[in-house]
Amino acid sequence: MKKIVILASGSGTNAENIVRYFEDSDLARVDAIITNNAKAGVIDKARKVGVSCFVIGNQSVADGELAKKLISLKPDLIVLAGYLRLIPQDIISTFPKRIINIHPALLPDYGGAGMYGKYVHQAVVENEDEVSGITIHYVSEAYDEGEIIFQEEVEIDFEDEWQDVEYKIRELEYKHYPAVIEYLLPDL
């Protein structure tokens, strides 16, 4: 059985979706969720779905506690689901091509520090883009610059507000992120 560890900073809707996707799987299970935010909604979601959740604050991440916890958990795949911190190089080196992220835009557009959630969707609307989408990629030393694994796009209507774009992107995330994880796991 493959082990997945999810890193999340916010509400945890993608994390919960991934946990539920693998609940009855013979391939993998979500072994733990780690958050850097002691007030994150993902903590309650983890409790609700019966997955261990650990809070490792930003300073503790910098002090190496995240690396120690990940090494002790021995995950086959580390999945970022709204984790808003840069992953330290030592973790990337320890888990090469075993850390993935989902970004709510078609990279390389709208990537980088500060480009997450509503900020991405607002930029898409302000620039009157006709399409947006999701990118699932390997995590590298820089925000949103790792090798692209999968992209899917959705049309943006001229009357869409950023909240409409967010809804469309969220639907893509829920549909595709667990399936891409499942596709990657057998080779790990």
Residues acting as catalytic residues: 103
CA distances from 73 to 52, 84, 117, 130 (A): 11, 21, 29, 42
Q: Find the helix or strand (DSSP H, E) in which 151 lies.
A: strand 148-155
CB 139 within 8 A of CB 155: no
User: Strand 131-138 relative to strand 148-155: parallel, antiparallel, unpaired?
Assistant: antiparallel
Q: Could you tell me which of 167, 187, 185 has the C-alpha nearest to residue 30?
A: 185
User: What order of strands is seen across the sheet that includes strand 148-155?
Assistant: 52-55, 28-35, 2-8, 77-80, 99-103, 131-138, 148-155
